[in-house]
Each structure stands twice: as structure tokens, then as C-alpha cells.
Amino acid sequence: MNRSKAIACGLLLTVLSGVFVGCGYSEEEMQAQRDRVDQLTKALDALEGKHKELQDRFKVLSSENAQMTEQLRQMGMNVEDQKRSNDEMTRLVADLKAKQQQADARLQTFRSMLERFNKMIASGQLRVRIVRGRMVVELSENILFDSGKADLKPEGQAALKEVASVLASITDRDFQIAGHTDNIPIKSAKFPSNWHLSTARSVTVAAFLAANGVTETRLSAAGYADTQPAAPNDTPEGRQQNRRIEIVLMPNLDELPDLSKLKDLTN
């Protein structure tokens, strides 16, 4: 009990004693009242102590609450950053998985075609190459055409019928027929340049494939003349390799790069 409170209680007891004497209270009754005052004083002391304890606890909790609020704020930012990072990682994994599935499907198509072309490859009628991620079926000029002409020879027709049966079984691909020549210029009444000859040959092959079971809308034809040589043109052997027809498996739309982000630049 502090000093001021002790003085106040003493004065209270003195006053109460005078009151009790004046009112005719016995000594026992007065002592009982004094005991009651002591009990009340002790109870008051206990309440004040509890109050101080609660005040101290409140200060501690207020400090802890402020710290926790700051931690939660920082944690909230970190959690949000982590969520964005996780979402981005999930998207990247999904994209990679889709690309892997596309690559697996493309590889399976390549393997299937290669297996079916094995006999023709072994006999020298054609060869298969992978160029810039695309499968290319290559047939030499000497199998398909006479020199300087764009009409199919009988053996060329027989070879293309076998090719057509394979291409017709692949339902999810487009094919480009590409004509190529060596670098020796041609000038004739029918073909004024190698461009005309290579284009005419590719159109002839595309039309023949369409007539033999390959869906017409999946075919296109292009002439490259001597602009894409497969070998140097400085030897007869190299020039013979360059005179060729290529059947290129074109990529599906979902295999092409996503250029949607460039849309704003084209407007």
C-alpha cells in the first residue's frame, strides 16, 4: 500500500472510530469494522495491482500487434509475389508440356512416314531429310522427269503412287511440293527460265498426288529454281542432286510461334 493511501485509510479508521464510539458500538463491533476496512483496502490494492498488470499487458500486446501487423503486411506482399511466381511457373510448365506433346506427335508422324518409305529409300527412289525441323521427302529428277521437261515418266508415276498412299494416310498435315533445278539456265519455248520449269514440275506432282488420294486442299506447289541448292553446282553429281522435287510436311498452326504480341505493332 502506498503512503497516501495508508494516510487516507488511517483517517478513515479514526473517523469511523469516533462514529462508532458516538453511536455506542462495542469494542468488538468496532474491531469488526476495522477488519472490514482492512479487507476492503487489501481488495483495492489487489484491484489496482491487477489494473496495472493489465495496463502493462496491454502495452505489450499493442507493441506485439504493431509488429505482427507489419509482419503480416510484408508477408502479404511476399505471399502475393509468390502467388504470381507460382502462377507464372504453372503457365510455363503447361506451355512446355503442350510443346512436348506437339513434338512427340510430330516425331511419331515422322517415324511412321519413315517406316512406310523404307522400301523406296532402300531402292533409291527417294530419300528423307529433316530440314529446319520439317520432314522433307526428296525425289530425284531422273526418276520423275526427262531433262528439261515437266511431264511425269512412267516410273515417276509409279513412285508417286506409292508416295500418295502414304501421304493420304496422314490426315492432320499439309504438304508443299517444291521444285528445284541446278544453276544451268534453261531457255525454251515452253520454259523461259528455271523458275518456270521448277514451278511447272511442282504443279504436275501436286496434281498427280491429288488425283491419287491426297486431299487437294492439303497440297500447295512452289518453284525455287536454283535458289536453294542441296549441293554445290560445280560438279555433275552436285547438279544432279539439285534437280529434285521435295515434298515438305508443313507445320500445323499450333506449332508456329505465337505472334499475337506483335498485333499492336501492325495496326
Instruction: Quote the CA–CA distance of 49 and 64 in Å, as a whole number.
Output: 22
Place of cell 527460265: 193
Stated pTM of the model: 0.61
Instruction: Quote the CA–CA distance of 111 and 105 in Å, as a whole number.
Output: 10
User: Tell me, what amino acid is at 111?
Assistant: R
Instruction: Report residue 49 as a C-alpha cell.
Output: 495491482
CB 242 within 8 A of CB 231: yes
What pLDDT score was predicted for residue 267? Answer: 44
CB 221 within 8 A of CB 205: yes
Q: Specify the DSSP element, H or E, that contains 8.
A: helix 3-22
Q: Give the start-to-end residue ranges of the domains of the chain.
A: 103-253
- Digit-coded pLDDT (tens) for 72-125: 677 665 667 777 777 887 888 888 787 778 777 777 777 877 888 888 888 888
Tell which residue, 189, 201, 187, has the closest CA to residue 242. Answer: 201
CATH class, range 103-253 = alpha beta
What pLDDT score was predicted for residue 162? Answer: 94
What pLDDT score was predicted for residue 149? Answer: 95
The pLDDT of residue 206 is above 90: yes
